Structure 1
């Protein structure tokens, strides 16, 4: 029994000596090799590993205590930086998702309904495409910020360029719809003969060429990637670029106000000229004027705070003010499908036919107002 215990002890002593010899040899060979980095880990024999003698408690009391050399691994202390998600960015991403879903439905209805090919519906479809791209731009901006390396210049310029082009197209398409409504009332008798589909397509192409050019401006040098002090409230858009866009929007808004005032005057003049249907037309005209006022007020309430803030503020202002003005501006793209598409009787009929296979009788009896044109 004693011989057996001594043999066991000798065996473990030899194993421990061989282990230490191998470790020393590997350590010396690593330090002498100039092609390797001396700080590289060596599997179990690295700087984060300590060794201690532990007792083998599995032996019975009649056998001598055997001590073995066991490693004690220390946990790594490397810190992993995790970017905190802003609630404002989450709200913008959710808004973008809602925008994309609404306008995708509008585009699907217009595409699969052959009867909706009038100039008015072409403009509504162009507005839906612009708002759809705006919603996708908000989603991609969230993805680029938190899921992809947002420090890449290409990614940053692509995101901001898409947002500028999409929202600019949305504003200009709303202006085109306003002009179309004004012409349909001002030249009511010759409107359908003078306003051809080809002319409408040409106008839509001009709008998109202009807006794509605006979206390319940051990539063409109108950015503040090299000069942080020249940044606007929306990085990396330069301050001068943001002011130019804001002033352009104010001019568009002023033109829309003037056109809506002219539409209201023409509507009231038509109501006075038709004496037989005076009561019916008066009710319809009043409803149309109130609807147009709500459209203009909603458009101004969404975009005016951000436009005015872009003129007076720069990158040194707190980011919370930028978020507080950008979020209402994006909500305008949520309202646009409701105002310009879902309220239209023809689109409503197509939606009812697609969803339920029938059309409610009240859609045929509802009178058209100036906002439906």
Structure 2
């Protein structure tokens, strides 16, 4: 085994461990905290689950494929298709989050009336089924067939026409463009709404509306950052596949760049938990508790608990659209 293989397997192992631990903490935090059990975090949980499975399943399988295993053709196609599967679930989850933020900010009355936890869970089921179907297309026959020496490798069994024309252009690039358009539209709406809210600040209702609106905006900003990082991490490998497919052997992307791009794409699953904590103090608080850096409210006095309960109740009353699930 050469130095590049050892380095790749080592980095994939590190990515797998960090991704598993970080995203497991996200799921535990949502399960532990009633305040985090909102419609938005329902989709975040789906994204975290997909990222955690990248750490548990995709990283080890990618390392296995890198050294040419397994020698069984269908097994090789399957482990390489799984990589695409979880990527697709992540993209669909991000798209669902973008649409949810659009409804909450742009048409809040429609959102309050129609966006329920049951519908969110139903949408998640559709997301995972769609991701599984798109990701496992090579298993249904759109592949390159068994390689002559039966050495497993992504580019030797996965048809690049499927990766470029079907997966990248159809189910990666199009959703990314839609999401960026949604967040740009949200930004434009925010600028208009802030001008209107500024005129109402002197009134109590105006201040309440501003607090609620700013909370929605903060959530949209942090999720837009998650989308931006996802794009930065995943575009290099897709662009490299596109260049290699269109140019052929004459102008292919260097192999070390391909390896680096694969590692960066998988590393995206490690970064997301930090972004959730950065954009949400409740996530940060739960993470600190799990890391034993912050003790539960045992040190609070009875009066502190009463005040905290009143504040939490008031926040829940002010944000009816954030239905718990």
User: If the length of structure 2 is used for normalisation, what is the TM-score?
Assistant: 0.73
Cα distance between partner residues in 1 of 2:130 and 2:222: 30
1:10 is aligned to none
1:16-41: CA deviations, max 9, x gaps? xxxxxxxxxxxxxxxxxxxxxxxxxx
1:330 to 235, 251, 266: 266
Alpha-carbon distance change, 168 to 289 in structure 1, aligned in 2, over 3 angstroms: closer
For structure 2, the residue ranges without an aligned partner over 5 or more in a row are 316-321
CA RMSD of aligned residues (A): 3.7
Cα distance between partner residues in 2 of 1:327 and 1:220: 27
1:351 aligns with 2:287: yes
Is the 8 Å Cα contact of residues 92 and 138 (structure 1) preserved in structure 2? no
The offset of 1:227, in angstroms, is: 6.0
Alpha-carbon distance change, 307 to 277 in structure 1, aligned in 2, over 3 angstroms: farther
Alpha-carbon distance change, 235 to 182 in structure 1, aligned in 2, over 3 angstroms: farther
Alpha-carbon distance change, 325 to 144 in structure 1, aligned in 2, over 3 angstroms: closer
1:300 aligns with 2:231: yes
2:159 to 234, 238, 241: 238
How many residues matched? 283
Cα distance between partner residues in 2 of 1:290 and 1:207: 23
1:137 to 57, 68, 78: 57
The offset of 1:211, in angstroms, is: 0.9
Cα distance between partner residues in 1 of 2:117 and 2:16: 31
The offset of 1:202, in angstroms, is: 1.2
1:175 aligns with 2:82: no
Is the partner of 1:313 in helix, strand or coil?
helix
2:19 to 86, 91, 99: 99
Cα distance between partner residues in 1 of 2:120 and 2:135: 23
Cα distance between partner residues in 1 of 2:218 and 2:157: 44
1:215-243: CA deviations, max 9, x gaps? 32222222223368xx9964421112111
Higher Cα Rg, which structure:
1
1:44 is aligned to none
Cα distance between partner residues in 1 of 2:50 and 2:146: 30
Alpha-carbon distance change, 350 to 324 in structure 1, aligned in 2, over 3 angstroms: closer
The offset of 1:307, in angstroms, is: 1.9
